[in-house]
Amino acid sequence: MQTNSIGTKERAALKCPVCKSPELRATDLEAGLTFFNCPECRGNWLRGAQYWKWLQQHGPNLPQRSDQDSGLSLVEPDIHIDCPECRFRMVKYLVGHGFSFTIDHCEGCKGVLA
Ligand SMILES: [Zn+2]
Ligand SMILES: [Zn+2]
């Protein structure tokens, strides 16, 4: 267990990058993976470090960062979303693999809004 920079104070301060005002509620999905859920748009924010590590460990067939054609394609967003943690402009991807939803990905902290 790592207990370095991520503390409870930081947890409580995240706001939804889409709706701006509501605070995201931290929900522990399982050990090592925490969703930050927006009560209004039901968006889920996942911390980059946690998310990509979790993906590596559990290996689900979700998108990975790749420049090759893995079914992940850039989508021209109708609204621009700024990362709630580091304020980077987020990039929208179509998940592919038979899924029709998109995720927003932060190039700065690698966070994901799903
Ligand atoms: Zn929201
Ligand atoms: Zn970020």
Ligand nearest to the CA of 39: 1
Q: Which ligand is nearest to the CA of 49?
A: 2
Instruction: Say what the pLDDT of residue 108 is.
Output: 92
Asked if 99 and 110 touch (Cβ cutoff 8 Å), the reply is no
What single string gives the DSSP state of each residue in 12-30?
Answer: HH-B-TTTSSSBPEEEEEE
State residue 52's pLDDT score. Answer: 80
Residue 53 within any structural domain of the chain? yes
Looking at residue 51, the DSSP 8-state letter turns out to be H
Indicate the number of domains in the chain.
1
3: in domain: no
Name the closest ligand to CA 40: 1
DSSP 88: P
**What pLDDT tens digit does each residue of the chain (114 aa) get?**
555 555 444 445 799 999 988 899 999 888 778 999 999 999 999 999 888 887 777 765 555 544 444 556 777 767 789 999 999 999 988 877 776 778 899 989 999 998
Domain with 17 in it: 11-63+71-113
In a domain, 26, yes or no: yes
Say what the pLDDT of residue 73 is. 72
- Cα(49) to centroid(ligand 2), Å: 10
Give domain status of residue 5, yes or no. no
pLDDT at 71: 55
87 within some domain: yes
In a domain, 1, yes or no: no
